[in-house]
Amino acid sequence: MANNRTYTDAIIIHGTKLSSLEELHRLHLNQGIRSESGPTGFHYIIHPDGGLRTGRAIEEIGAHSRGYNEHSVGIVLVGRRAGLQPYTPTAMRVLLGLTRDLQERYYATRPHIVGHSQFSSHDCPGFDVEAWAHTKGLQCKSLLLAS
Ligand SMILES: [Zn+2]
């Protein structure tokens, strides 16, 4: 693979009102985002019914967080709703399992769980990822130090 990460110290959570992986693929194709393993810039896509789909190959550098792609995994929750709980409980359970698995997989570099909005002006994913991660006992910090 041409474009793999050499280390992974962040797991970045995103959210979108788009309703499916297929819609994301279309959007990313329109933006010119593509890779050997598929057109989306995210590594994982979580649907409201709890369906977990893979996008870009896990070791490949993603295209989801400018300046941070080279050392992070990108997860997106689709089907964002208005309000303080924009994603279904089922989707949040899948997110929790996935982030735990990823923290284990990349244990050596101790990846932190962060929301996209922690280092960008985007209101993404639309909930307080740091607070959520703390209540679930996940390791996180409010800002990434490296870029
Ligand atoms: Zn985002």
Mind listing the pLDDT tens digit for each residue in 52-91?
A: 999 989 999 999 999 999 999 999 999 999 998 999 999 9
**pLDDT band at residue 147 using 50, 70 and 90 as cut-offs:** very low
**Residues by chain with Cβ below 5 Å of ion ligand 1:** 14, 116, 124
What is the pLDDT at residue 22?
86
Residue bearing the bigger pLDDT, 138 or 93: 93
Q: Are strands 44-46 and 10-15 parallel, antiparallel or unpaired?
A: unpaired
Question: What is the average pLDDT across 108-116?
Answer: 90
Cα 1 to ligand 1 centre (Å):
25
The tokens of 121 are what?
Answer: 């002006």
Q: Where are the domains of the chain?
A: 10-135
Cα 2 to ligand 1 centre (Å):
25
Cα 66 to ligand 1 centre (Å):
10
pTM attached to this predicted model: 0.89
Cα 139 to ligand 1 centre (Å):
20
In this structure, which CATH number among 3.40.190.10, 3.40.80.10, 1.10.600.10, 3.40.50.40 belongs to the domain 10-135?
3.40.80.10
11, 31, 57, 4 alpha-carbon torsion, rounded to 10°: -80
